[in-house]
């Protein structure tokens, strides 16, 4: 009877977990925010205090109060940006996840308040243009180390929010604008239309390993318990 | 004889007057706009972005120079970026070395550093007066227009500076707009002196001779 209770409990937990998963779109966390546009010098050294590159703050993203309880396995981003035509391949700018309120990204990376992802936004990614365009990356893998760093950075914020930055080691002329003004000529006179830009960061996650272990181990324990309880009754007598 | 001299000096003065009236009367405004090309040329000395070509086949007419102008450009993260104008579609540094582009004196600075803005220089044409172009640049720009029947526009900042100039904004084109106020006035002091000095000289000579003649008549 006890085994049945264990078994039921285990399956109930598993079902609950699956149900929670589906209610969170299969552990796909998505956050859309207005772009920030702040740009700072990046890859600074004492010899070159202005740095060789630049980093632009995309925005402050929020994935819920328990966002630091997950292992992140893949990430993608949709962002409006203007990139130089040379920003391709290993010179394409990449995404950095940083603690909320970061001012110096070089420092943040050094002290563990930021982590670099293998998620690049390239000039030749469709649509490529010498202008401000909306780019959407594919889902890229997040390593275990990066995932742990993301969770740790999330845990540093009371609301579990994180900043995403678009960083380049090589280029200053990168813009992630908060808004764009479009000049229109009406009856020969200029007028302006302003558009606020947004960005979406998507993180694919699984529950942290301890949670998975609990849900896997519980039914197994129940099964083992049942076997131990039933074995003496079914076991053959010792012929020796 | 005196009568002829009076007529001569009168004619000189009339010419001077006509010239003065003529100069102030002949002014013109030309405007044009296009999508920004946004081709970048980064060298050790500058970072230049080609805005594009305007005023194709515009007749130079009787005008002498560009006197003042408005510029409206779409740009981000700019501080004191200079607007150069002339004949320079192939490359900025080569054209500057060949004295084919001229610094208009206009400087573009964005109001904020986190947006892609449309910047009016020196301000909204409905409110602010146009910005004067330095005389040598104004003459050079107009000569370039007269010679080539077009003008090329470049935004120029420091080497590796981080300003960006878009050609598109999403699916919309990023435009730039230019308005020149040009004039036939001859502002060069040398030209004015060339006309004024002989006229004043002849007047003084005439007055002196008149006085001498009067003296001679009194004495006789």
Partner residues linked to A193 by β-bridges: A182
Q: Is the dihedral of CA A7, A10, A14, A20 positive or negative?
A: positive
Contact residues on chain A for B118, CB-CB shorter than 8 A: 181-183, 190, 192
Which chain A residue has the Cα nearest residue B34?
A185
Write down the pLDDT at residue A67: 85
- Both tokens of B170, joined, read 């999403």
Judged by a CB distance cut-off of 8 A, whether residue A145 touches chain B is no
Q: Is the dihedral of CA B191, B197, B200, B206 positive or negative?
A: negative
Contact B115 A129 (CB under 8 A): no
Q: Does B145 score more than 60 pLDDT?
A: yes
Residue A138 contacts residue A172 (beta carbons within 8 Å): no
Contact residues on chain A for B76, CB-CB shorter than 8 A: 82, 175, 177
Write down the pLDDT at residue A197: 97
Write down the pLDDT at residue A18: 46
- Both tokens of B91, joined, read 């490359």
Q: Which residues contact B35 (CB under 8 A, 6 or more apart)?
A: B52, B167, B168, B173, B174, B175
Q: Which residue has the tokens 């409206």?
A: B72
Q: Does B194 score more than 80 pLDDT?
A: no
Q: How confident is the model at residue B89 (pLDDT cuts 50, 70, 90)?
A: confident
Phi, psi angles (nearest 5°) of residue B166: -85, 155
Contact A177 B76 (CB under 8 A): yes
Partner residue opposite A175 with nearest CB, options B37, B77, B175: B77
Coil, helix or strand for B99? coil
Q: Which residue from B85, B91, B89 is spatially nearest to B66, judged by alpha carbons?
A: B85
Checking ipTM against 0.85, whether it exceeds it is: no
Residue A170 contacts residue A53 (beta carbons within 8 Å): yes
Phi, psi angles (nearest 5°) of residue B7: -60, -45
Partner residues linked to B85 by β-bridges: B102, B153
Verdict on whether the full-model pTM lies above 0.95: no
Write down the pLDDT at residue B8: 62
Q: How far apart are CA B58 and CA A137, in angstroms?
A: 46
Q: Please state, for a pLDDT cut of 70, what percent of chain A lies above it.
A: 75
Helix axes A2-23, A209-234, angle to 10 degrees: 160
Contact A175 B76 (CB under 8 A): yes
Contact B72 A132 (CB under 8 A): no
């Amino acid at each position: 009877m006890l085994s049945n209770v264990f078994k039921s409990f285990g399956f109930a937990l598993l079902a609950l977990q699956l149900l929670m998963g589906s209610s969170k779109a299969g552990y796909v966390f998505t956050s859309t925010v207005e772009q920030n546009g702040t740009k700072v010098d990046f890859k600074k050294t004492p010899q070159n205090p202005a740095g060789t590159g630049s980093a632009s703050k995309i925005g402050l993203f929020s994935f819920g109060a328990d966002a630091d309880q997950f292992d992140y396995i893949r990430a993608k981003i949709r962002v409006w940006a203007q990139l130089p035509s040379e920003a391709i391949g290993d010179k394409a700018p990449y995404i950095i996840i940083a603690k909320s309120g970061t001012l110096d990204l070089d420092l943040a990376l050094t002290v563990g308040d930021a982590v670099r992802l293998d998620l690049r936004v390239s000039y030749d990614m469709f649509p490529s243009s010498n202008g401000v365009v909306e780019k959407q990356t594919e889902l890229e893998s997040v390593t275990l180390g990066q995932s742990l760093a993301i969770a740790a950075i999330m845990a540093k914020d009371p609301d579990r929010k994180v900043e995403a930055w678009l960083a380049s080691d090589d280029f200053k002329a990168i813009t992630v604008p908060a808004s764009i003004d479009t000049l229109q000529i009406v009856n020969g006179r200029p007028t302006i239309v302003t558009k606020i830009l947004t960005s979406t960061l998507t993180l694919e996650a699984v529950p942290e390993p301890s949670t998975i272990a609990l849900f896997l181990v519980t039914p197994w324990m129940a099964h083992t318990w049942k076997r131990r309880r039933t074995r003496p009754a079914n076991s053959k007598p010792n012929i020796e | 004889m005196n009568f002829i001299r009076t007529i001569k000096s009168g004619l000189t003065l009339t010419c001077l007057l006509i010239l003065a009236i003529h100069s102030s009367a002949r002014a013109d405004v030309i405007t044009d706009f296009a999508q920004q090309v946004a081709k970048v040329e980064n060298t050790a000395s500058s970072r230049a972005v080609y805005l594009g070509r305007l005023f194709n086949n515009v007749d130079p007419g009787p005008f002498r120079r560009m006197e003042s102008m408005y510029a409206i450009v779409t740009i981000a993260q700019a501080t004191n970026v200079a607007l150069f104008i002339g004949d320079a579609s192939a490359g900025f540094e080569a054209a500057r070395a060949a004295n084919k582009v001229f610094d208009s004196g206009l400087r573009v600075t964005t109001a904020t550093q986190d947006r892609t803005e449309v910047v009016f220089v020196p301000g909204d044409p409905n409110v602010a007066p146009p910005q004067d172009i330095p005389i040598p640049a104004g003459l050079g720009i107009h000569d370039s227009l007269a010679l080539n029947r077009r003008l090329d526009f470049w935004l120029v900042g420091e080497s590796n500076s981080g300003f960006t100039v878009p050609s598109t904004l999403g699916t919309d084109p990023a435009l730039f707009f230019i308005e020149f106020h040009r004039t036939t006035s001859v502002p060069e002091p040398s030209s004015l002196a060339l006309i004024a000095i002989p006229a004043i000289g002849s007047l003084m000579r005439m007055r002196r001779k008149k006085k001498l003649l009067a003296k001679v008549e009194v004495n006789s």
